[in-house]
Amino acid sequence: MLQENPVISVQNLSATFGDRQVLQNVSFTVRQNEIAVILGSSGCGKTTTLKHLIGLYPVQQGNVEVLGIPVHSASERELQRLYQKIGVLFQNGALLNSITVAENVAIPLEQHTQLPQKIITQLVRLKLQLVELPGVEMMVPSQLSGGMKKRAALARAIALDPPLLFCDEPSAGLDPITMSALDELILKLKRVLGMTIVLVTHEVPSIFRLADRIIFLDAGRVIFEGPLTEALQSPNPIIQEFFKKGRGENRPANPR
């Protein structure tokens, strides 16, 4: 089998904010067309890791390579090239509130291509159709429900058909039905568009539905990296506790 270049490669990423060490020697890889889930309990450093991957925090220590671009030492121009190839779904959608949904989704297209307006309009409609949100082009974000905002933000994230998609707690604040619908959407993106997806979440049902690969963080360290099935067999008490509580059980899953 041909050894493929990993889409993301993180080596010994460390970060200190003030006098708190938030990340310690975090290392992992993400491969082509897989859904990698970064998880752990609140405050373990998941979102911080994600923000390092997308260049929102400068790398203090370690190496971060995304799509072949060394984020830790990239120039402005290289980062610009990276941003044309990734999409980011923020926790609250982060749609621009002063413009319509259609204008929001069109931003990456207007920014990075010279396509005429007619084509952009069609593409915007197509993306909104893909995320199962037709008919809302003219609305402003404050008129949408939480689930609809996430879908619109997802449409914007995939506007340029990026090979790599980042999602920060996509299920946050959603009811179970909407949550599973969003998960189905993410699976569709992986299957149909061949995307590689990095997800930060702590929702166990979503993890079961989506994850190919798990990166489990605890207090800023990686305590597990590998397929989900292996994670469930892990003897590590923290991981066991996490999945046990996530499934709502009160008795240990694997009596030792």
Partner 1 sequence: MRITNPHEQAVAAFRLEGDQLWLEGNWTVQQVDRLYQELIRTLRRYPRKFLAINFSHLQQMDSAGVIVVEALEAFCQQRGIRVSREAIPENIQHVFENFSARQITTSVASVQENWLERLGTVIYQVLYHDVVQFFTLVVDLIYFGVIDIFHRRAHRAGEFVRQALYIGVNAVPIIGTVAFLIGVVLALQSSEQLRQFGANLYIADLTAIAMVQEMGPLITAIMVAGRSGSAIASEIATMIVSEEVDALKTMGIQPLRYIVIPKLHAALFVLPFLTILADFFGILGGLMIGYLDLELSPYVFFNRMIQVLYIRDLATGYIKSLVFAYIIVLAGAFYGFRVKGGAEGVGRVTTMAVVAAIFFVIIADSILGLLFY
Smallest distance from the beta carbon of 78 to partner 1, in angstroms?
11
Smallest distance from the beta carbon of 96 to partner 1, in angstroms?
5
Smallest distance from the beta carbon of 220 to partner 1, in angstroms?
15
β-bridge partners, 225: 215
Q: Which residues bind partner 1 (CB under 8 A)?
A: 2-5, 17, 32, 47, 51, 54-58, 67-68, 79-80, 83-86, 88, 90-92, 94-100, 107-116, 118-119, 122-123, 125-127, 129, 134-143, 153, 160-161, 163, 192-193
Smallest distance from the beta carbon of 120 to partner 1, in angstroms?
9
Rounded distance between C-alpha atoms, residue 50 and residue 52, angstroms: 5
Sequence letter at residue 237: P
In the complex with partner 1, which residue's Cβ is closer, 197 or 231?
197
Using alpha carbons only, give the angle 24, 36, 250 rounded to the nearest 5 degrees. Answer: 80
Dump the DSSP string for 94-121: ---TTS-HHHHHHHHHHHH----HHHHH
In the complex with partner 1, which residue's Cβ is closer, 112 or 209?
112
In the complex with partner 1, which residue's Cβ is closer, 127 or 231?
127
Torsion sign over Cα 68, 70, 75, 81? positive
Q: In what order do the strands lie in the sheet with 35-39?
A: 86-89, 164-168, 196-200, 35-39, 213-218, 221-227
In the complex with partner 1, which residue's Cβ is closer, 137 or 183?
137
